[in-house]
Structure 1
Amino acid sequence: MLVTDSIIFLQLYALLLMKPARSRRPLEYPYTWEQFAHGEWACRHIQCRLDEWLPKFFGYHLLKLGGLSCELASGHCNIQHQICIDKINPLRTLEANGYELPFVDKAFDVCVLANQLDYTDDPHRLLREIDRVMIDDGYVIITGVNPCSVMGVGRVLPWRKGHLPWSGRMFTPLRVKDWLGVLNYEVVELSCFGLLPTTKDRMSGIWLETSFSGLLPAIGSLYFIVARKRTYPLKPIKPAWKLRKGFSPVGVNYRTRSETDAA
């Protein structure tokens, strides 16, 4: 009963935090995991999930958008040509604005967006721009901090509001899933993990993950979304024309009575 009440409380808390996606206040954009509180812990967890998915992808071009994405290892991916975009991170291969990517339409097979939606002033615009450069049936990987978690609730503490990751917007994974649905993306996986950030004692963190595995889908500190772009061709429906049956003369029995009697 206590567990159910806790989940309901966190869901109500998420509804109270639901604000317009577009923000007018300036947001501090992180370009390295070292800026994050428990950044090493978050990077390690995301890397484990990424290692499971990257070998499944095939194609020609992979995009890692943002400094946090640049620091995630992707050398074991089958896609050899990889582009890292950021403005500050030294691992970048190209410096560009995320709202105006310098690529033609449908250029990339996979895009990795690690914890960046929380720190952009217009996430809808960013997702539309990513959708523009994605090929049909391409994959998008999005990660972020779950506001309905123990880590996310910490943003209400006044001494944490000015520090990363609590200074971000923290959208719920279900809300991000709705945004992707509007863009015709099929969510292949949505998982939450990381109950409590434990950087010193990893064994205790594994024990917590195992003990509260049933709660992780709702209150995991980090979420991991894999979505596939679905483009359905518009096939015109031809009208089923029905031709009227042609008139045919009615058969007339023209045999005379005499002929009938003779027979």
Structure 2
Amino acid sequence: MHFQDWLETPQGYYVLQWALHKHELLLADVFGFNAVQVGLPRYDFLRGNRMPFRFHCDESGLVDVRAVPGHLPFASQSVDLVVLPHVLEFADNPHHVLREVERVLVPEGQVVVTGFNPFSLWGVRRRLSRHPLADPPWDGRYISVPRLKDWFALLGFETRGGAFGRYAPPFRQEKWLNRSRFLEAAGDRWWPYGGAVYVLQAIKRQAGMRLVTPTWHDRKARAKAMVAVTQRNGQ
């Protein structure tokens, strides 16, 4: 089973609903011209954002831009926002993926990462699994928030915000997940760092640099040029 197929199971949809809602809240006030979603092309994590040019990037042929996460076909400092929904934990070299994101982001550009929390009931389920590398989502290499923040700092990102969510045990049946809904409010209040998944938002900073923003018309022209390039690459 592919991870995207797992997201359509009751267990996966339970996680997906929360992540999509959090992206809508986080991205509503992120402005610019070019936004890129890497991975999970069936789901629109950019739907709450209002940038004029939004691209979906994946290895499949059913996207705007066909590419692997570690080699994004965008010019350096050409993208305002990159979202990585469950990309890093399934990447062979997650730190390289973040370096590539840092390359394509403009100064003050933003990245939003979604991942599974290893310090949760779901993380415990993965560690106790007899075959942890066999089926999604247990075949991923979960990255903790403190570790991800360290990676951000090394690449010159400043963590801006984020959230944990989904506190029910990893039940497979929808009825048990529904019966555990009361844990959401309790988890947010009493053990917020124990959520099954997290969303973390960071901004690309460049120390000692005075940011000179191009005029609106110049940036719009550059954004349109990138549209033409990515469309040719996606053919």
Q: Could you tell me the TM-score, scaled by structure 1's length?
A: 0.71
Separation of aligned partners in 2, 1:30 and 1:89? 17
Whether the aligned pair in 1 keeps the contact of 2:121 and 2:194 (CA below 8 Å) is yes
Unaligned 5+ runs, structure 1: 1-27, 236-263
The yes-or-no answer on 1:219 pairing with 2:219 is no
Separation of aligned partners in 2, 1:110 and 1:143? 14
AA in 2 matched with 1:180? F
Match of 1:128? 99
Report 1:175-214 matches (<5 A): 175-196=147-168, 197=170, 199-200=174-175, 204-214=179-189
CA offsets 1:193-242 (integer angstroms, 9 cap, x no match): 1111564366534311122333443211001101111112269xxxxxxx
How far 1:138 sits from its partner (Å)? 0.7
How far 1:73 sits from its partner (Å)? 4.2
AA in 2 matched with 1:41? Y
Give the 4+ runs in structure 1 shifted more than 4 A: none
Alignment match of 1:51 (pick from 9, 16, 24) = 24
Separation of aligned partners in 2, 1:73 and 1:228? 18
Separation of aligned partners in 2, 1:76 and 1:193? 19
CA offsets 1:89-141 (integer angstroms, 9 cap, x no match): 73x11111222211110111011000111111111111000100000001100
The yes-or-no answer on 1:110 pairing with 2:81 is yes
Separation of aligned partners in 2, 1:123 and 1:194? 24
Q: Could you tell me the TM-score, scaled by structure 2's length?
A: 0.79
Whether the aligned pair in 2 keeps the contact of 1:31 and 1:66 (CA below 8 Å) is no
Separation of aligned partners in 1, 2:16 and 2:125? 19
The number of residues matched between the two structures is: 206
Match of 1:230? 205
Match of 1:80? 52
Separation of aligned partners in 1, 2:5 and 2:61? 7
Alignment match of 2:125 (pick from 154, 179, 191) = 154
Match of 1:140? 111
Change (3 A) 1:153 1:95: same
Whether the aligned pair in 1 keeps the contact of 2:111 and 2:203 (CA below 8 Å) is yes
CA offsets 1:169-215 (integer angstroms, 9 cap, x no match): 11111101110011111111132111115643665343111223334
AA in 2 matched with 1:178? D
Cα RMSD of the aligned pairs, angstroms, is 2.4
Change (3 A) 1:34 1:212: closer
Report 1:241-260 matches (<5 A): none
Which of the two has higher C-alpha Rg?
A: 1
Unaligned 5+ runs, structure 2: 211-235
CA offsets 1:51-83 (integer angstroms, 9 cap, x no match): 111210110000000126x51343341102111
Change (3 A) 1:223 1:36: farther
Whether the aligned pair in 1 keeps the contact of 2:112 and 2:202 (CA below 8 Å) is yes
CA offsets 1:1-39 (integer angstroms, 9 cap, x no match): xxxxxxxxxxxxxxxxxxxxxxxxxxx974555377721
Aligned with 2:188: secondary structure? coil
How far 1:160 sits from its partner (Å)? 4.9
User: Which of 203-212 and 55-64 deviates more?
Assistant: 203-212
Whether the aligned pair in 1 keeps the contact of 2:6 and 2:136 (CA below 8 Å) is no
Q: Comparing both chains, which one has the higher relative contact order based on Cα–Cα distances under 8 Å and sequence gaps of 6 or more?
A: 2
